[in-house]
Every structure is written in C-alpha cells, then in structure tokens.
Structure 1
C-alpha cells in the first residue's frame, strides 16, 4: 500500500526529473537556467539564507504533507480484481493427435500451475519462475507415478500414457489479485523559496508543469489517483529580506490495498486438498452462508390505524425525520404521514430485501383484519417473492380467546395455517421455523393449560396438517445476561431460545460498538448454556422519540430517560456485525438450526432498521447496500473460497 512518505518522495522525484532531466553524459543541468534544491521536509535556516542572499541565488522546493488535510474517501466494495500483466507466461502445452501424449514447451516467465488430466483425474503441479519444460514434465510424471493410478512415461518434455488411456495438459500463470481496503484524500504542500519574485514565478511554472495531470513515478497505479491542484498560498512577509515564499497545495487520493496470488483452476476434476475436490465424489465442500432473516414490525402501512398514528407522532420532531419510512411525507406544518401500502409498494420492498441478501422476513403476528397485518397479506399475495421466504413471530400474549371452543385465538390458528405454505421458512428437515415471544404471567393467565400446553397444541396442529413439527424458538426481549430465558424455553417445550433484541442500557449514551458487543456476547452466553439457540444481530437501539413523546402502544419504564440509547450505526458497521453473526453460525454447533435473526427490518421508532428511510432528497438505502454487498461477497467466498494449492 502507498504511504504518505512514499507520495512525498514521488512528488519530489517528479519535480526533480522535470527541472533536472537526465543527460546522456550523466551530468545534471537545470532547465530553468539557475539551480534549485529539491527535498522533503524543511530547509535548514542558515543554508536557506545563504542560498537566497548569494548571487544569482539558489531556489528551494520542499515537499510536505499538508496538516489537517486528510479526508476519508473510502467508497468501493472490497471486491477482488485482477492485476493485468502483458508478459506472456512462456510455458505452453501441446496434446498429440493420438490423445495419449502431451509435450510441454518453453520456460515459465512467472509463477503458475501446469498439469495433466489422465482418465478424468487431474494432476496439478506448481510452477516457479524459470522452470523449464523438462523440469515441469518430470515433476508431473513423478506425481502421477507416485499415486500409482496410472502409468506415465517421461521423455524429455513429453509425457505419454498407454494407448488405452487419455491425457491432456494445461498450463497458466498465477494471477495477482488485489482489493482496496480504504481510501484517503491527502493534501501536500509544495513550498517554493526564491530570492526574487521572478525566480519564484519561474519555479512555480515548472512545478505546475511537472505535476499537472501526471501520474507519480514508483507508485502502483491502483493505489494513487491523479494529482489535483487545490490552492495557491502566498507566505511573504516584510521581515524576510530576499525571501519570497509560495505554497502550492496539491491533493491526491491514496488507496490502501491488499494483494494476493491466486492459482488458476484449470480442470473440472481433481483433488486440490483434503477438503476440496472437483468432480470427485465423497469429499467435503465449505458450508454455504446460513440463512439470515429480519424482524418486521408493520405499523407503517396505513395511517388510519391508531398504531401508525402513534408511530408518526413519536417521530414528528424534525430531529427524527431521518428515521421515518422512506416513502413518508412531511407537510408544511411539520406533520408526517405515509401512504397506505399497495401490492406495488410491498413488491418493491421484497426486491430490496432480496438485494440486501436476506433469506426471510419474520413477521410480528397480529389479527389478519388489523392493518398491522397488511404488509404480510400483500407479501403473501405477491408474485415477486421468489427468493424471499417468511416466518411468523407468535405473540403468546394474544393466543387466548375465551369465546373460542378450544380457548385459542384466531391469531394463533392463522400462524399455524401459514406454516403449511410453500414459501414458509423451514429448518432441520423441512420443519417450519416459528418464533414465540415471551409474555408475563398476567398476559398468559387465560391461556388454556398454560404456555407448555399451547405450544403442544401448535406442534400437534402443524404435524396433523403437514406431517412435521415446527421448530419453535422462544424469544425474550433482553440479553441473556439480564434475563435467562433458557429455563423458560425448556419448560415451555421450545426447541431453542433466543432474543428479539439485546440492548444493555447503562444510563448514558453508548456507541454502536457497545451494542455490537452486547449482542455478540449474548451469542456466546447462549452457546455456553448448552441449550440450542438462535443469535440476533442488532442494527440499533434508540427509544428517545418514545421517551420524549410517550405512546400508549409503547409502554416504557418511568426510569427510562433520554440518555439511555446507542448512537446511530454506520452502514458498514452494521454489515460487519451481521457478517460476524454469519461466521458465528458457521463455526458454532450451538445453533443446529443455523439461521440468524436481525433486529430489524423496520423498527424505526425503536431505532433498529435496514429498510429505506426518509430524506428530502429521496429514500436512503445505504444500509441495504452495505449489508447486501457484504452478504453477496461472503456468499461468493463460501462457494469459491481461497484455496491453498498443494504442490
């Protein structure tokens, strides 16, 4: 990666090469007609004074980093790119017309891979710069004959198999790849010191000609942008006799990159290492990225619903406009609203969720006639939901109905019926995934037989309908360190435990990194219990709008103040946290269902969201873009990982 000191040196070199172009006789002559000293850093005061006072005088050019000029310009995804190379590999392979011999020719100009495929089994060998065709042929022959699955003879650069066998060969260079990790715009001061204004003007013209729109020497073109002139700053004072100073400020973007060597994959079959093989049965492959789903709280789809109205009121202060749904409207009086959801608007959300890399939505469960269920209904009727499944978050507090013959509500029975749908999310042998929210004993008082009996009712009803039992995850509203719901989950007959959200408030504002720590500590704590768990990643937590404008639907503790919140997260930090959850699922046996939950898709009032949010310039989708990019990259790496090459 390019360092600031390297850029300073390159700037000085570019100016020096212009003023003192190389001569065939090795001497250096200034094209300006007078001498100029060029260096990094600052001139020694006595030396500078002597130079400007002597006749005809010597000018100075110094190169320094401009203080306080660094600006973060990171904006590229961390995708790998191939560095071009115009030099031929130098090694080629010819296959005989008979199909039972290959001949290697030439000498390797770079590192690479060469090998043969005999009877559909590949035998690769590493190639180093300078390896001859003879050496490569012998290396491959030794590898084949040591395995003993085929007989291969070697004569100089030709490899031959029996007439009943087939052979072909390939060779290719190792590809150098790179990716950009971060990018900074940095200013550099080119300071000119001269004994006269005329000499200063001449030096200025030379510096400008040397640098304007030029690439700097000795620095990778992928790590440095073009130089751009930024400002001209006179630093003359009447106390400096015979000294005229001018600072020319130039800016450039410096990229920090990472590079690696990637061996080419040349054959459709062959053993690469103990875990990876192409076209060979019985070998392991890396696990795919686990499915990740986001919680939906759908009070944002019908302003006639009193819950929507309460949410709008909570976010009606201009301080919170940025947390409104992306399709909101703010009128001239400052009141906010949003349109009633349509099939088209939910189809658009589905497309965004798919682009975000989500595998499913987890819908909070309400009565089907309540418009809090409108988004779910439009999801179910959508013809655009391929690739995005759904599941339900049952609220045990609304499961009882004393007017029902069996004591259970239509809300619970609707959840049960939905589990038979083809787009319902399943785990562990096609078992429907069903989250159940914890509830107080008062809320469960009228539930026939208690929570355990209700969950048994759910299991039996689903099993009778589709032949498998649901995978039930018991969710609390707190981190395990604050409330251990594992025992309650076991007592209720759930298959696993987890949390809807995991904030750990301290009475003072905390950075998003503290919320990440709380969530990821919760995963570890739950894994340590030995009871199956589902991890939850947090996109944010900030209930200040509800503290400042209390709403009936959101009863909060009187002890909660507007100092109890986490600062807003950046989109890349959210993406990193979600990727940490994916890696946790891949590496831990504590979550056999291997799915991750994200709080949340649209909990705007509580401060957790991925969905587009409001701005006067149009919906803000930075979180969707960042998470989608991270999931796409991680999915690609799980399918095409970085493989060590065995020689």
Structure 2
C-alpha cells in the first residue's frame, strides 16, 4: 500500500507519457473524428440537486425538458428516467456516430449518478463509450488518507479496464477530464505538492496495472496553465467556451467567440480537445438560482440563443475543420461538445419536449459525415 511518504516524496518515473510514433496518430487522423458529449444528469431521479434543475423547467422553459419527463400538473415536472429511456438515448447517440459520453462524476448516493448507473446496466453500452469528468478533489480525500486514495485509484483502474470505457483514437489511452478549482486542494490537506504527487502516483499505478498511461485532460482556462502542470495533464480543454458580453445575444456571436477560444487553446502550445457549444441560455438559473451557484446579475451575465440545427451543423463542421487544420495540437482527433443534457443551461441536444426528434443531434451526425468525407465547407 502507498504511504503518505510515497505521496509527499513523489514516485520516480511516474510522469510523462507512453507516446506512440508520429505515424500512429497520423494514420488515425486519416480515419475519423471522435465526438464526445458532456452529460450532466439531473433528469433521472428527482431528489437532491436534481430537484432544483428539474423545477427550473417546470413552466416557462418546459420545452427544454428531456422527452421522458412527465408534467403531472401545471407548473409541475417529474423526471425519473428508466432503463428503457437510457437504452433509447444510447441507440440515438450511436446512430448519430457519437463516440463517447463524458459523464460529470458524482458520489454514488447522488441523484446525478443515476443516469450512469443506468448506462452501466445497459446491454447496449458498448455502442457509445464513456469517460469521466472528475473533480480533482475526488481523487483525494478530506482529511487526506492514502488508504482511501488507493481505493479511488483501484476503482478507476477497474473502469479503465472495461471495454465500454473510452480510449483515445490516436494512442488508445483511457480518457479522463479533470476539473480543478482552488477548493479541490482541501482534499489534499491544502497542500499543492501533495495534490501533484497524488496525480503522479495515480498515473504510475495505472501504468503498472494496464501498461499504458491515462490521458488526463485538464479543464481550465489558458490563463491557468499552472493548474494543468500540477496534475500532470496531457492536454487542455474546457467545460464551456470563454464567453463575454452582457444580456441576450444571438447564437452567431457564441459561435464566433467559441471559434476564437479554440485558437486561444491552441496558442498555449499544449495538446487540446476543443469544446463546441450547443448554446448557453441560462435564464432558468437567473430566474431561480441553484444553491451551488447563487444569484447572478442578469444585466452583467451573457446568455445566447440556442443553435438551430443548421447553425449547429456549421458549428460542428468548423470544429472538425479546426482539428484538421491543427494536427499537432489535436492529436486525439476528438471534439468535446457541450452538451448532451445541460437542459436548464440551454445546451442540450437529446430529444426534448420542444424538440422530440432531436434536430441538433441529427445536425451533428450530418456534420461528422461531411467532415469525414472532406466536405467541411458545405
């Protein structure tokens, strides 16, 4: 068992990556793209944090509710997803050539974990792979305990070993996105060196067990690259694009700002996974703030119209074209999309009450088809 001394001293040789020759990822580049979609799953059980998100869609914004949600009475909503609902989502995503879902990771008892449980129990799960968006704190413990941390390591190694866990197209490494905020250091005894040593030890143990490195992608702004170094991140991405302005704006402006953000990510000189945006219309949370965020000033907060299917098709095409134009930065050939089901933030493409045929999901499939055929400018 690793001791606290192992963590504080670091592990010799644990850093770095098991890189394949340039020709390996160049060959992958000629084959395909992999598109992943973020999942934030407040729509499969109504308790805990899910209550606030669901109630935000009970009346004015009910068209955004996933199609499996029920409306038993005026201004009431009940989203309780079943195995059949998840199986249908997997089939729809697979038909649209979605390579993987990036699940926001929560504790086992959370309502936000229910969808992942349904995914894991599905007989169809191999049709769409999955990976985790893990808060850095969830690889540690408060107070810090090497025994607890080792159990975390073992859990993730077991998941990486499963056939449905997504591995990068270029090198076949298990993909994990890491969210890192200042509060995460509390799970490492408020010691940044301990955090860095824990991630180094994690990489070493994965390598020892699986004979490959995990591909860790830090979700941070280009201005916060030091955080990426502290977790030994292999690449940089974001949960959402960097958005500016005030009040309501057209989707065309969000598209423009997101494309500019891709360039900002690439300019860091790091490996990147670009983030594409379906929309960002957070008025439900401006009207009824959720407790984990608190109130925001509507006059100073930007929000954008949700993309039409045609706008979204062009946006995804642009993202795939960006990957082609930046092969050194985008070796994984992956585009991350916000999102599958951030419904109350205005960024979902799954079937909803207002869009039961999932027009944006069809647009994503068409964009990928065109890009794979070299028709990016259509």
TM-score > 0.5 by shorter chain: yes
Equivalent residue in structure 2 for 1:415, among 128, 131, 156: 156
Alignment partners' CA distance in 2, 1:286 and 1:524: 20
Alignment partners' CA distance in 1, 2:131 and 2:139: 17
Deviations 1:116-152, CA, capped at 9 Å, x for gaps = xxxxxxxxxxxxxxxxxxxxxxxxxxxxxxxxxxxxx
Alignment partners' CA distance in 2, 1:434 and 1:344: 27
Q: For 1:597, what is the secondary structure of its paired residue?
A: strand
Deviations 1:247-279, CA, capped at 9 Å, x for gaps = xxxxxxxxxxxxxxxxxxxxxxxxxxxxxxxxx
Say if 2:328 is the partner of 1:584: no
Deviations 1:23-61, CA, capped at 9 Å, x for gaps = xxxxxxxxxxxxxxxxxxxxxxxxxxxxxxxxxxxxxxx
* Corresponding position of 1:349: 89
* Corresponding position of 1:510: 249
Say if 2:209 is the partner of 1:465: yes
Q: Which of the pair has more CA radius of gyration?
A: 1
Q: Please tell me the root mean square deviation across aligned C-alpha atoms, in Å.
A: 2.4
Say if 2:65 is the partner of 1:324: yes
Q: Quick check: 2:35–2:334 contact (8 Å CA) kept in 1?
A: yes
* Corresponding position of 2:339: 600
TM-score (normalised: structure 2): 0.84
* Corresponding position of 2:199: 455
Alignment partners' CA distance in 1, 2:295 and 2:32: 39
* Corresponding position of 2:42: 299
Alignment partners' CA distance in 2, 1:518 and 1:621: 25
Equivalent residue in structure 1 for 2:277, among 534, 538, 542: 538
- Flag the 1:359–1:561 CA change in 2: closer, same or farther, 3 A: same
- Flag the 1:538–1:285 CA change in 2: closer, same or farther, 3 A: closer
* Corresponding position of 1:208: none
Alignment partners' CA distance in 2, 1:369 and 1:414: 16
Q: For 1:354, what is the secondary structure of its paired residue?
A: helix
Residue 423 of structure 1, CA deviation:
1.8
Deviations 1:96-124, CA, capped at 9 Å, x for gaps = xxxxxxxxxxxxxxxxxxxxxxxxxxxxx
Deviations 1:166-185, CA, capped at 9 Å, x for gaps = xxxxxxxxxxxxxxxxxxxx
Alignment partners' CA distance in 1, 2:155 and 2:110: 13
* Corresponding position of 2:116: 376
Deviations 1:519-552, CA, capped at 9 Å, x for gaps = 1111111112211111000111111111111121
Structure number with the higher helix fraction is 2
TM-score (normalised: structure 1): 0.50
- Flag the 1:485–1:560 CA change in 2: closer, same or farther, 3 A: farther
Say if 2:361 is the partner of 1:624: yes
- Where does structure 1 differ by over 4 angstroms across 4 or more consecutive aligned residues? 409-413, 560-563
Query: Unpaired runs of 5+ in structure 1?
Result: 1-283, 643-647
Query: What are the residue-to-residue correspondences of 1:29-40 with 2, within 5 Å?
Result: none
Give the aligned length.
Answer: 344
Structure number with the higher strand fraction is 1
- Flag the 1:286–1:463 CA change in 2: closer, same or farther, 3 A: closer
* Corresponding position of 1:552: 291
Q: Which moved more, 1:507-516 or 1:381-390?
A: 381-390
* Corresponding position of 2:30: 287
* Greater RCO, 1 or 2 (C-alpha within 8 Å, sep 6+): 2
- Flag the 1:561–1:312 CA change in 2: closer, same or farther, 3 A: farther
